[in-house]
Copies of this chain bind each other. A is one copy, B any other.
Amino acid sequence: MLRILVLGSAAGGGFPQWNCNCENCRRARRSEASAVARTQSSLAVSADDEHWFLLNASPDLGQQIAQSLPLLPAREPRHSPLAGVVLTNADVDHIAGLLTLRERQPLTIYATRRVHDVLASNSVFNVLNPEVVKRQTIELEQSAALHLPDGRPAGLAVELFSVPGKVALFLENPDAGPNFGTVPEDTVGAKITDQSDGRHFFYVPGCASMPPDLARRLKGAPLVFFDGTTWTNDEMRTSGVGEKSGSRMGHMWMSGAEGSIAAFSDLGVGRRIFVHINNTNPVLLADTPERAEAEAAGWEIAEDGMDIRL
């Protein structure tokens, strides 16, 4: 059994975003039923309904834990059902929440060497006392068992694989050419498997394109959470909120012949759910033609609090 909680379904900045006053964000602030607010990108997964692993740790993690009954402490005086965190890149919207996980709680952080190097070079993450918070490097393309703080296996395996993407914004090297110094370990997808029955799903919250090897990997999967940052590549500009394109930010867009909806159309994926959705994306709103188009193509638009059993 796999149980998956969507803790946060929005991209970096959340929905509404603190300094954004676009029509989408205004509607979310007015609590319109068709414009549900969303916190930043993170899932939680469990094989036993008792021990949980975060897939990315968003800046909103404190709020997300407080709103998720399965993640609240169950024993006195201190306790947490959280046993670890798997990181898919070092973007601020995926690592800042680590700073919330202090207070001497035993945990393991799983990530590629490259992402661990980012944490190691930022002393602020040492608030996670190395005596109680382990950091484990995961090699690409290797299935790694996740463990509980006491060393027992959690019944879950994670496999990380490189996907097209971009190094974290704060590490971009403008002198390193068009990819800003990005290497394969900077952005990965994760395959999470219940070791008892082989049930599995994919989590790919950041992905810049769908090369053939990634399409082959995802083909026929029972469930995929996929990067839903923008609807069109130039959405930030046309919304008047920025100049960067989706691809410049390392994200595939949803619509059109080159978009993710088309890329998935022949993959036979059982359940397709967009996560990491930017506040400019019209699919966030339940009453838009874009939402209708995505749903007609078989996609679900994630909301915080989705609770999925596989």
Contact = CB atoms under 8 A, between A and B. Distances in A.
A75 interface: yes
Among A14, A76, A102, A125, the most chain B Cβ lie within 10 Å of the Cβ of A102
A212 interface: no
Interface string A53-81: 00000011111011000001111111110
A265 interface: no
Interface of A is mostly: loop
Interface in A1-60: 12-14, 16-22, 25, 29, 39, 59-60
Copies of this chain, complex-wide, total: 2
B124 A78 contact: no
Contacts of A124: 92, 95-96, 118, 122, 124, 170
Contact of A62 (B18, B118, B241): B18
A169 B16 CA distance: 33
A243 B242 CA distance: 49
A142 interface: no
A288 interface: no
A101 to B, nearest CB: 7
Contacts of A136: none
Contact of A77 (B95, B102, B239): B239
A196 interface: no
Interface of A: 12-14, 16-22, 25, 29, 39, 59-63, 65-66, 72-80, 82, 92, 95-96, 99-105, 118, 121-127, 169-171, 239-242
7 closest cross-chain pairs (CB), A and B? A21-B73, A19-B80, A126-B170, A122-B122, A96-B99, A77-B240, A127-B170
